[in-house]
Amino acid sequence: MNDMSDEKLQKVLARAGLGSRREMERAIADGRVTVDGKKATLGDRVSEEARVALDGRQVKLTPPDSVRGRVLIYNKPDNEICSRKDPEGRRSVFESLPRARGERWISVGRLDFTTSGLLLFTTDGELANRLMHPSSVIEREYLCRVMGQTKEENLKALVDGVLLDDGVARFTDIVDGGGEGINHWFYVVIMEGRNREVRRLWESQGLQVNRLKRVRYGNIFLPPKLKAGQWMELPAEDVNKVYEMAGLAPVNKKTKVAKKQDAKPRGKAVRCRAGRKQR
C-alpha cells in the first residue's frame, strides 16, 4: 500500500472528503487548518503520522489507494445555484442531495443559474479535481436552443475556434437537433468548463442561447428517467469507470450506495450525437 508521505496538504484534505482542492487551499489560506497543533500554510506537505485538524476538528487521514468516493448524478433544474449558500436566498443544488455522513458532497464543476441538466457530485476531492482539471480532456455535451438565423459559416467558425475574452474556444462537435422558425436545437461538445462558455461561443456569432441543458459528462449520460430535481447514486462498477475516466486507479473497496435511487444507469456510454462512433 502506498503511503502518503510528502503529499500536499490540500490534496490530503480533499481526499478525506472535506472539499475540493481549491476549497481546501482557501481553508488553509484562511487559517482554518492546523498541522501538529500549528497553523498550516499553503505549500505544507504532510506524512501519514501528522495530526491535521480543520476548524478544530481532527481529520482522519487516508492513504491514496484506500479510498473510493461515492458518485451521484443530479438532474439540475433551472434556477438553482451551484454554491452551498446564496446571499439572495436562491435554492442550492446541495439542498436536494442525500446526506453523506462523515463526508460532504463536492460538485464536479458548475452549471449557470439558468442552465439545467447533468451535475456530478462525489465525496472524493481528488476525483473531483481530476475530473475538472483541463489536463483530463473530458468532453461535456450540451443540448442548446439557439435563437437567430444560423448559417454554415457560423457553425464552421465555432468548430474552427473563436477568440473570447479568456482565449480561443471552440466546439469539438456540433449536431443539428431540429427546430422551426427562429429557434433551433443543437447538440454541442466542449472540452473545458469555462464560465458561460457555450453561451459566449454562440454570442460571438450574434446568436443567443435561450435554453441550455448538459446531457453528458465524459462517459456519463443524464439518464432519461431521471426527472429535474432528482438524483441517483452510481453503483460500484460505474464508480470505477468514473475513476478510470479521471485517470485514477479504481479501488476494490465496497461503498454503501444510498437507498434512494430515482432511476437506473443508462447502460454503456455512447459518443456524441455528432456522428461519432458508438461504443
pLDDT band at 271 (very low <50, low <70, confident <90, very high): very low
What CATH number is associated with residue 105?
3.30.2350.10
Residue 224 and residue 212 share a domain: no
Query: Domain total for the chain?
Result: 3
Does residue 191 lie within any of the structural domains? yes
What angle is formed at CA 106 by the lines to CA 84 and CA 4, rounded to 5 degrees? 135
Q: Do the bridges between strand 38-39 and strand 33-35 make them parallel or antiparallel, or are there none, so unpaired?
A: antiparallel
Query: Hey, which bits of 124-247 come out as E strands?
Result: 140-147, 162-164, 167-169, 173-178, 183-190, 208-217, 220-221, 231-233
188: in domain: yes
Note whether 152 and 201 are same-domain residues.
yes
Q: Which residue has the cell 481528488?
A: 126
Q: What's the farthest any 2 CA atoms get from each other in the chain?
A: 66
Whether 1 shows a pLDDT value over 80: the answer reads no
Q: Are 48 and 4 in contact (CB under 8 A)?
A: yes
In a domain, 233, yes or no: yes
- What confidence tens digit (pLDDT) does each residue in 19-66 have? 778 889 999 999 999 999 999 999 899 988 889 999 999 988 877 666
Catalytic residue among 44, 112, 238, 262: 112
| 25-34: pLDDT as tens digits | 999 999 999 9
Query: Which set of grid coordinates corresponds to residue 248?
Result: 485514477
For residue 261, being part of any structural domain is answered with no
Q: Is the domain of 227 the same as that of 180? A: no
Please state the pTM of the whole predicted model: 0.73
- Do residue 130 and residue 36 come from a single domain? no
**162 lies in which domain range?**
139-217
| Same-domain status, 103 and 223 | yes
Residue 257 in this model has a pLDDT that exceeds 90 = no
155 shares its domain with 208: yes
**Per-residue pLDDT at 267 exceeds 90:** no
Distance, in Å, from the CA atom of 130 to the CA atom of 110, rounded to the nearest integer, reads 15
Question: Is residue 112 among the annotated active site residues?
Answer: yes
